[in-house]
Chain A
C-alpha cells in the first residue's frame, strides 16, 4: 500500500535528513541566512531554479536553492550523502511527484516555462527532460524495445522503418550499436552493467530530450565502464543540456563545465568547474574537495 516506499533507488530516505542541520550549522561554517556564493546565474540558461524549497512531510530537504543550468553544458552537482542533490535533480523533471508527502516551493522553469504550473503536462515535461538513474534499469524487454519505448509511447515514429532508424541512431549515439547490433532482440537485462547503463542513456536520448538528468549514473559501474560513460557524456553535451549528480569528484572535474556544491540541503557554491576544484570560494567547498568530510 505504501507507494512512497516503492521508489527506493536514488531517493533520499527521510533518515538522510535526520541531522544536525540547524543546531550545528555554525560549527561547520554555515549560517542560517546562507546565500549561495559564485556565479549562480549565467547567460544562456536552459533551466532556471529560483528560491526552491523541497519538503518531505515536515522535513525540509532543500533550502532556498537558486541556480541556472546552462544550455548544452554539463553541470555537476556534488556534495556529501544526504545533502539533497538527488532530490533537487529529481525536481527538475518532477519525478518527486511520485513520492507521497513531497512538497515543492519556489520557481523552476525550462525555457521560461513554469514546471509546476497547472498548465504544464508532466508527461510532456519528462519527454523534454529525460532521466538516467543510479542503477541501470532497462525494461525486461529486448534491447530494441527498450530504445523504441519512448518513441512508441510519444508517437514519434510514423513507420517501422522510422522506428528502426531512431533505435539505431540512439544506440550509435550511446556508443552501444556495434556491441548489440547482432542481438537487438535479446533481453536488455542480459547486457553487462556498463552496457545496461548505456542502453538506458540510449533509451533516454531516443526521444531527443532537451535536458538529460543523470543521478550518479556510474556509481554501480567499474572504472572501464565509467570511463566509457564519461566519454559519452562529453559527446552528448554538444547537443544536450546535462545535469549530473555524482559522488566522484574526479568525474565532476572531468565531465562538467560548472559545478554546484550542496551541503545539508543548501546550495553552497556554484562556479566554473575549474575554479571550484582549484580555487573554491567557500570554505565548506574547500573542505569537501580536499576530503575533510563527505
Chain B
C-alpha cells in the first residue's frame, strides 16, 4: 500500500520528459514541413515573376497603306501574286514615313529590324482576311522584334536593357514610347504557335499538342496492360518462385533511371522496328514502358486493399473467381487504380531524359497533327528554350514551366477529386 505514492511520483516525473520529447518531435516535424513549403513557394514565386512577361508582347503602332504598287499585287485572288508579293515593303514604308530623318542604308536596316521578321506575314493574313482594305490605309499594331520587347519591358521596370541596340534605335524607340505608339498586348502567339528561332514568334502550342498525343498513347497502352497485369498477379497467379521473381523485377523496373528506357526505345523501337524518330508514337511507347511498373504497383496495392470479407461473400454466393474480380474487387479498387494511373501520367508528362534519346528533342516549328508527325513535348521544349542564347527566351522558359506546372497540378488535383468522388459512392 505504501508503495503507491512513490509510483505516482515516478510517473509524474517521467511525464515531464515525455512531454518534452513530444514537443521536440513536433517541432522537427513542423520545421520539415515549413522548409518544404518554403522551397516550393520560392520556386513557384520565382518562376511566376520571371514567366508572366511571356504572356504579353511588345507591339508598335504603324500607319500601313495597302498600296497595290508597293505590294506588286493587282488581284488578291491570284495565289501566285499573293505569294510573290512584297509584304514587308508595307511596314518598311510606314517606318520610313514616321522617321524620315534616317536615310543611311545601315541605319535604315536597323530601323526595319525593330519589327519582327514575321510582321510581313501578319499583314498578309490581315489583308487576305479583309480584301476590301486593298488600297486603303489603317493603323496596325505590329509585333516588335524580341530585342525591342526585352528593351521595352526592362524600360517599364525602370532598368532599360540596351546591350543589343544601337543609339539610333534607342532614339527611335524613345520617340515611339513618348508618342504612345509602343504598347504591351496579350501574347496570343505564345499560346497558339509552335516553336521558332525568333523568341517573339515562339509558342508553346506545338509542345502542348506533342505532350498530349504522347500521353494519350502512353495512357492507352499502359493503363489496360498495367491493370491486367496487376489483376492477374494479385488474383489469379499461383504464388511460386516465378511470380516472386516477376514481383521483384517489377519493383526493380520502377527504380530504373528513365534515360535507360530512352535507350531501350532507341534500340528496340527505332533501330529494330524502324519506327521513325521524333514522333509521339515512339515517345508514347517509351513512356508507356516506363509508367507500366508504377501502374502495376499502385493497382496491386489498390486490389490488396479490397476487404477480404467482400471476396468471401462473393465466393460464398457461388461467384466464380472471375465474377468476384469483375463485380466486386475491380469496382472497389478502381479509385486507387485511377489515382495511380494519373500519378504515373503526371510523371510521364514531366519526363525529359528518355525522350532526348529518341529524337523528340528536335527543333520542330509545325504543330503536330497526328501521332506520326515529328513533335516535341513540354519539358523538352523547356530544355530547348533554356538552352537558347536569346535573352527573350528566359521568360519563355519560365512561362513554359508555368504551363507544365499548370497541367501537373490539374492532373494531381483531378486524381484527388476522382478518388474522393468514387470512394464516396457508398
Contact of B239 among A93, A100, A126 (CB under 8 A): A100
Cross-interface CB contact of A6 among B243, B311, B314, B317, cutoff 8 Å:
B311
B310-A140 in contact (CB<8A): yes
- Given A1-B247, A7-B311: A141 and B426 within 8 A (CB)? yes
Q: Is the CB of B320 within 8 A of A200?
A: no
Q: How far does the Cβ of B232 sit from chain A's closest Cβ, in whole Å?
A: 12
Please, how many residues of chain B have a CB less than 8 angstroms from a CB on the other chain?
28
Interface centre among B235, B243, B247, B320 (most CB of A within 10 A): B320
- Interface range, A side: 35 or more
Q: A141-B426, A189-B426 are in contact. Are A133 and B318 (CB under 8 A)?
A: no
Please report which residues of chain A, range 131-189, place their CB below 8 angstroms from some CB of chain B when the two chains form the complex: 131, 133, 135, 137-141, 149-150, 153-154, 187, 189
CB of A95 closer than 8 Å to a CB of B: yes
Contact A98 B243 (CB under 8 A): no
A85 at the interface (CB under 8 A from B): no
Q: Is the CB of A154 within 8 A of B318?
A: yes
Shortest Cβ distance from residue A20 to the other chain B in the assembled complex, whole angstroms: 30
B178 contacts chain A at the CB level, 8 A cutoff: no
A139 lies within 8 A of B316 (CB): no
A95 engages B309 (CB within 8 Å): no
CB pair B239–A139 under 8 Å, yes or no, is no
**When chains A and B are docked, how far (Å) is the Cα of A71 from the Cα of B311?**
29
Is the CB–CB distance between B310 and A200 below 8 Å?
no
Chain A residues with CB below 8 A from B233, complex form: 1
Q: Does A2 contact B (CB under 8 A)?
A: yes
A152 to chain B, nearest CB (A): 9
How far is the CB of A156 from the nearest CB of chain B, in Å? 11
Q: Which residue of B lies closest to A209 (CB)?
A: B318
Using known A-B contacts A123-B320, A189-B426, determine if residue A133 contacts B312 with beta carbons closer than 8 Å.
yes
A3→B312 contact, CB < 8 A:
no
Contact B317 A207 (CB under 8 A): yes
- A123-B320, A126-B317, A203-B317 known; A139+B310 contact, CB < 8 A: yes
- Whether A137 and B315, one on each chain, are in contact in the complex, defined by CB atoms closer than 8 angstroms, is no
Contact with A along B299-330 (1 / 0, CB 8 A): 00000100111111111111110010001100
The verdict on B234 contacting chain A, using a C-beta distance below 8 Å, is yes
List the B side residues contacting A7 at CB < 8 Å: 308, 311-312
User: Whole-angstrom distance from the CB of B120 to the nearest CB of chain A?
Assistant: 65
A156 to B362, CA, bound (A): 62
Q: Which residues of B contact A1 (CB under 8 A)?
A: 233-234, 239, 243-244, 247
Smallest CB-CB separation from A8: which chain B residue? B308
B332 at interface (Cβ–Cβ under 8 A)? yes
**How far is it, in angstroms, between the C-alpha of A4 and the C-alpha of B332 when the chains are bound?**
20
Contact with A along B214-253 (1 / 0, CB 8 A): 0000000000000000000111000100011001000000
Known contacts A133-B312, A135-B309, A137-B313; A150 and B328 CB within 8 A of each other: no
CB nearest neighbor in A for B307:
A137
Complex Cα–Cα for A1 and B236 (A): 10
Q: A1-B234, A1-B247, A187-B426 are in contact. Are A126 and B315 (CB under 8 A)?
A: yes
Q: Mark A234-265, 1 if CB is under 8 A from B, else 0.
A: 00000000000000000000000000000000
| Residue of A7, A140, A189 with most partner-chain B CB within 10 A | A140
The distance in angstroms between the C-alpha atoms of A95 and B304, with both chains bound, is 19
Q: Which residues of chain B come closer than 8 Å to A141, judged between CB atoms? A: 426
Q: How far is the CA of A100 from the CA of B239 in the complex (A)?
A: 9
Closest partner residue, chain A, to B319 (CB atom) = A153
Q: How far is the CA of A93 from the CA of B319 in the complex (A)?
A: 13
Q: Within the complex, what minimum Cβ distance (angstroms) separates A197 from chain B? A: 12
- Can you list 29 pairs linking A and B with CB atoms under 8 Å apart? A1-B243, A1-B247, A3-B234, A3-B235, A3-B239, A4-B239, A6-B304, A6-B311, A9-B308, A10-B312, A95-B312, A95-B315, A123-B318, A123-B319, A123-B320, A126-B315, A126-B318, A127-B317, A130-B316, A130-B317, A133-B309, A137-B309, A137-B310, A139-B314, A140-B425, A140-B426, A141-B426, A150-B317, A153-B317
User: Given contacts A7-B308, A127-B318, could you give 17 more A-B pairs where the C-beta distance is less than 8 Å?
Assistant: A3-B235, A8-B308, A10-B312, A95-B312, A100-B239, A125-B318, A130-B316, A130-B318, A131-B316, A133-B309, A149-B319, A150-B317, A150-B318, A153-B319, A187-B426, A203-B317, A204-B317
